[in-house]
Structure 1
Amino acid sequence: MLNLLPTSHFNKTIAYKLLGACSIACISFSSWAFSFNDVVTQAENLSKQAYVQPEKNIPNELASLQFADYQKIFFNHSKAYWGDRKSRFKLEFYHEGMYFDTPVKINEIINNQAHEIKFDPSYFDLSKVNLENLDTKNLGFAGFKVHYPINNPTKTDDEIFTALGGSYFRAVGKDQRYGLSARGLAIDTGEMSGEEFPRFKEFWIERPEPNQKHLVIYALLDSASVSGAYKLTLIPSVDTTITVEAKVFFRNPVKKLGIAPLTSMFLYGPNQPSPILNYRPAMHDSNGLSILANNNEWIWRPLNNPKRLSFSSYSLENPKAFGLIQRDKGFDDYQDLDDHYEQRPSVWAEILGDWQRGRVELVEIPTADETNDNIVTYWVPKKQYDAGDTLDIKYRLHYSLNELQRYPDNIARAISTRLSLGDIKQANLIRKLDGSNAYVIDFAGPQLSEQIPVKVISSINNGSIVSCEAQYNPVIKGWRVIVRFNVEDNKKATDIRIQLASEKTNEVLSETWSGQYPAQ
């Protein structure tokens, strides 16, 4: 059974303005010497024990909250950690509620000593949900959030990182809004046996120095099949980065392991228009999967909201990076005054070290609205992991609004993909409707010009290409490709690959556009 992944693990729109200081009474005085090896040791020991399902401890009044009400539970600003130290960072917490019903242990590291941060009902204001008289003293934290002055150096009310639910976490850079989520690990995503969701059960957060510009977070991950020690190094900036280092221990075999998983939402866009009339031309947190192979081939896969569960995979040897990208960055692309999808960052997973052979897998899940994350991508190693095995992981996540900066000057990008019927108007004539469809793809890049003729390299499976034409587009100073195609079996997805090359030298000029026409 497949689980839809709720975007409401995180609030997409709310950004709390939290200031203040935490008194010494906020800290538990029980402490111990700490290093990352302690988390590794705990993870290893957990892997040798039977998995224990975490206990849920919240009363029905909190468990039955709707998400709109859960948003009304506020952290009291005066209780924010590190506010009394003139730190750039502020640390705040989430209350348990709704399906965030399992407490998470949170510790602060001061001078290599770890102190548990004890839950205190006075941290939170429950009056907006009329639960101010509820006895919550035996509850715990559901997660935490980090603030940093990323947009204005004189203000510290910018929320730049949040960890809430399972092993989910999100971050933003300058002028960005929360979009897609990252996860610690994905297990059996999309499998009929059901997905396993590992969770971060405990965090250790290093208290930053007053002028420190990075934050170090350690986490202990646990699930029925694995346990793991994680180190997240968060550097807020114009393009915020999170370097992830992990050591994973397997207590049971895993059928499909997903490393560096990213979870997003795609409802509709020009490549797959809305089935109902909507004034917004697109609605998505990401609109494409981008991959950089070890041979420097760039691959662009526009996302779909399919009618049936869909899997796509790209077999690779030690890839350099992959990510879910929000390529359309103008307000006119979305026309949404509330959600501002043009401010959702692309997230690029830069692979650090040799990941050997495996595949980037993309899972697309049907969804009827934007409240569910229906897009998942991750790296699946070819190696199968059994009980007793270990895995070391290292990668860096880049949160950016400037996707262009990743590309070399000699590679053109597919900056837009539009779906059309095959009866495209040309020379004021309309071709006879023959049942074909067409993708209209605009490629742009500094090396493209009208004076350099191009040829189109194309291929298709589960169908046939009727025609494939390239036309210079002076508006974008690039080339437009119109590929008309027929589908052989409507019950199967049809994959099409398009690439531009120099007509004279055969030099590849563009990324590989790897589109999929969904099964109908």
Structure 2
Amino acid sequence: MLAVFVARRAASFRNRLQIALPGVALAGCLFGVAPAHAFSLDDVTARAKKLAGQPYAAPVSNLPPVFARMQFADYIKIQPKMDQVEWKGDATPFKLGFYHQGMHFSTPVRISEVVDNRVQEIRYEPGRFDFGDLKLDRAATNKLGYAGFRVMYPVNRADKLDEVMSVLGASYFRVIGKGQVYGLSARGLAINTGLSEPEEFPAFREFWIERPKPQDKHLVFYALLDSQSATGAYRFELRPDNNAVLKVQARVFMRNPVKKLGIAPLTSMFLFGPNQMRDANNFRPALHDSNGLSIHTGDNEWIWRPLNNPKYVALSMFQVNNPRGFGLMQRGREFAAYEDLKDRYDLRPSAWIEPQGDWGRGKVELVEIPTPDETNDNIVSFWTPDQLPPKGTPIKADYTIHWTMDERGAVTKDLAWVKQTLRTAGEITQANLIRHLDGSLGFLVDFEGGPLADLPPNAPVQASFSVGDNAEVIENVLQPNPVTKGYRATLRIKVKDPNKVVEMREALVLDGKQVSETWSYQIPPGTALSTPSQAVK
């Protein structure tokens, strides 16, 4: 079953467009007549609750063969015509473009706009699209529709529209701010992620988008989610800026029991980095959309978990009641850290989830899936409640997603943070001063910022650390780093059984008080190899 799960996740198709499972459309209009009251989340919530009490109706593809057989290289040739975008004649700075059906997007989603509290469907028109050099019978598009939409806004220059949000496939969406390029994705809901059985992908079936007023700097839209096990109502409020902000209100109803429900899920890619030996044939020092999971617990602890590309599926759980925040982050913004002019990993944003209100007892979970290349999203993180409410009672989750390149700004200024984690083969210096690899593993952790820069050279900073039973600590040295005005911890260990996991934690302490976030690292089974010839590919 594990192989089935990995294969299912590996089918996640990226290439700068998130593709998972298709969104689907309802058979009929949910709101056939304009409501007499202001359209709101309550309208969608009522529909989601009613839908949860009905048997699940699986979507049926309406794609003709020429679209169903389409490959990605042809699909991306279908682009929206800029002179046919929604609201092109309106003064609002926001415009809407659409994604066409095709390939995995086998059923349409219904998209309506809300104007003065009146709901009107945005009808599919093939004339909105440029099909490039595709050899298509134009009659084949007569009964097709939209697969999703794009939000355009002049975030970089006042005279140029930029795509700042993409909503496409299942419940996936991506957002970028000024100077950023698309990287990791968010989802509406995750079901049974990280289990040996196939994951369930809920889909946004219908959207309602409020037409912004000319002076508005935000865009509001609603979504109805449906799947075999759950339904949901969502309100989104997008504010593009240097760091884009997306406010989310979710109301989820369970249709059937599930083994695991993931709230505010994030999906990303990690192939390799300085903490995991890379392919010697690749010129890039690092290749990832995110390189760590950051958690701010309800008990006010800050945790940093560097990511891995494991040999087998790895699941990490952090008991976090009433989380204050968590996110998949891209720490390290220097171009030299990636050396990639084509994909610009240095410009891909982090996503920081900030819960609103108390979420109760639960866990932040991290799923790491092996991948041979960067085309698969192999990292998933989410919060899962310890208990679900009874059927008919919604799970209420309000949160804000910050899409940012200011990772340091997400961590409290009162603590030092982990700037980088370096992995190396462990070594000893012989009597003749020649270095000798001794079969151990070495980790160098650079802490910087917060109170460290103002400490005197002789400050009694100490390293508080713990290592699991599957490893022996050979050396743990803490020394000031004059280059960063921080501290470098060097931890050398010998793994007892490389087929078992190793957990490690380290933090800086001064006068009995923790002055850094907690570095929490896992060596997955099968990856405790210390020489370059044994490096994980």
Smaller-chain TM-score bracket: over 0.9
Q: Secondary structure at the match of 1:69?
A: helix
Query: Superposition pairs for residues 252-267 of structure 1, below 5 Å?
Result: 252-267=256-271
Task: Name the counterpart of 2:44.
Answer: 39
Q: Secondary structure at the match of 1:4?
A: helix
Task: Name the counterpart of 1:53.
Answer: 58
Query: Superposition pairs for residues 259-298 of structure 1, below 5 Å?
Result: 259-298=263-302
Cα-to-partner distance string for 1:60-92 (whole Å, 9 max, x where unaligned): 211222212211111111111112112110011
Task: Give, as a single letter, the amino acid of the residue that structure 2 aligns with 1:445.
Answer: G
Rounded Cα–Cα distance in structure 1 between residues aligned with 2:472 and 2:337: 31
2:524 equivalent to 1:518: yes
Rounded Cα–Cα distance in structure 2 between residues aligned with 1:412 and 1:481: 13
Q: Secondary structure at the match of 1:78?
A: helix
Deviation at 1:36, TM superposition (A): 2.3
Q: Is the 8 A contact 1:6 1:373 kept in 2?
A: no
Task: Name the counterpart of 2:240.
Answer: 236
Rounded Cα–Cα distance in structure 2 between residues aligned with 1:363 and 1:346: 17
Rounded Cα–Cα distance in structure 2 between residues aligned with 1:74 and 1:9: 17
Structure 2 residues not aligned, in runs of 5+: 19-30, 527-537
2:507 equivalent to 1:499: yes
Query: Superposition pairs for residues 65-464 of structure 1, below 5 Å?
Result: 65-131=70-136, 133-155=138-160, 157-385=161-389, 387-423=391-427, 429=433, 432-448=436-452, 449=455, 450-461=457-468, 462-464=470-472
Deviation at 1:328, TM superposition (A): 1.2
Rounded Cα–Cα distance in structure 2 between residues aligned with 1:440 and 1:264: 25
The verdict on how the C-alpha distance between 1:106 and 1:390 changes in structure 2, with shifts beyond 3 A counting, is: same
The verdict on how the C-alpha distance between 1:61 and 1:236 changes in structure 2, with shifts beyond 3 A counting, is: same
Rounded Cα–Cα distance in structure 1 between residues aligned with 2:89 and 2:14: 30
Deviation at 1:434, TM superposition (A): 3.0
Deviation at 1:10, TM superposition (A): 6.9
Deviation at 1:424, TM superposition (A): 5.5
Q: Is the 8 A contact 2:416 2:451 kept in 1?
A: yes
Rounded Cα–Cα distance in structure 1 between residues aligned with 2:432 and 2:326: 42
Rounded Cα–Cα distance in structure 2 between residues aligned with 1:136 and 1:213: 35
Task: Name the counterpart of 1:17.
Answer: none
Q: Is the 8 A contact 1:347 1:400 kept in 2?
A: yes
Q: Is the 8 A contact 1:143 1:164 kept in 2?
A: yes
Task: Name the counterpart of 2:494.
Answer: 486
Deviation at 1:425, TM superposition (A): 5.6
Cα-to-partner distance string for 1:382-423 (whole Å, 9 max, x where unaligned): 114554342111000000011111223321111011111110
Deviation at 1:427, TM superposition (A): 10
Deviation at 1:255, TM superposition (A): 1.1
The verdict on how the C-alpha distance between 1:429 and 1:512 changes in structure 2, with shifts beyond 3 A counting, is: farther
How many residues are aligned here? 502
Rounded Cα–Cα distance in structure 1 between residues aligned with 2:430 and 2:450: 28
Deviation at 1:490, TM superposition (A): 1.1
Rounded Cα–Cα distance in structure 2 between residues aligned with 1:464 and 1:436: 9
Deviation at 1:193, TM superposition (A): 2.1
Rounded Cα–Cα distance in structure 2 between residues aligned with 1:317 and 1:446: 26
Deviation at 1:440, TM superposition (A): 0.7
Rounded Cα–Cα distance in structure 1 between residues aligned with 2:489 and 2:342: 34
Task: Name the counterpart of 1:23.
Answer: none
TM-score (norm 1): 0.93
Task: Give, as a single letter, the amino acid of the residue that structure 2 aligns with 1:369.
Answer: D
Task: Name the counterpart of 1:25.
Answer: none
Cα-to-partner distance string for 1:300-337 (whole Å, 9 max, x where unaligned): 00000000000011012211000000001111000001
The verdict on how the C-alpha distance between 1:479 and 1:429 changes in structure 2, with shifts beyond 3 A counting, is: farther
2:469 equivalent to 1:469: no
Greater mean alpha carbon deviation, residues 111-120 or residues 378-387: 378-387
The verdict on how the C-alpha distance between 1:383 and 1:279 changes in structure 2, with shifts beyond 3 A counting, is: same
Deviation at 1:499, TM superposition (A): 0.6
The verdict on how the C-alpha distance between 1:252 and 1:57 changes in structure 2, with shifts beyond 3 A counting, is: same
Task: Give, as a single letter, the amino acid of the residue that structure 2 aligns with 1:466.
Answer: I
Q: Secondary structure at the match of 1:135?
A: helix
Q: Is the 8 A contact 1:270 1:419 kept in 2?
A: yes
Task: Give, as a single letter, the amino acid of the residue that structure 1 aligns with 2:329.
Answer: I
Rounded Cα–Cα distance in structure 2 between residues aligned with 1:280 and 1:393: 39
Deviation at 1:52, TM superposition (A): 0.4
Rounded Cα–Cα distance in structure 1 between residues aligned with 2:413 and 2:431: 34
Rounded Cα–Cα distance in structure 2 between residues aligned with 1:79 and 1:12: 22
TM-score (norm 2): 0.90
Superposition misfits of 4+ residues, deviation over 4 angstroms: 424-428
Q: Is the 8 A contact 1:254 1:384 kept in 2?
A: no
Q: Is the 8 A contact 1:273 1:281 kept in 2?
A: no
- How many percent identity over aligned positions? 48
Rounded Cα–Cα distance in structure 2 between residues aligned with 1:51 and 1:286: 35
The verdict on how the C-alpha distance between 1:296 and 1:149 changes in structure 2, with shifts beyond 3 A counting, is: same
Rounded Cα–Cα distance in structure 1 between residues aligned with 2:107 and 2:189: 19
Deviation at 1:31, TM superposition (A): 4.7
Cα-to-partner distance string for 1:3-55 (whole Å, 9 max, x where unaligned): 21656457359xxxxxxxxxxxxxxx975123322211110110000000011
Deviation at 1:132, TM superposition (A): 5.6
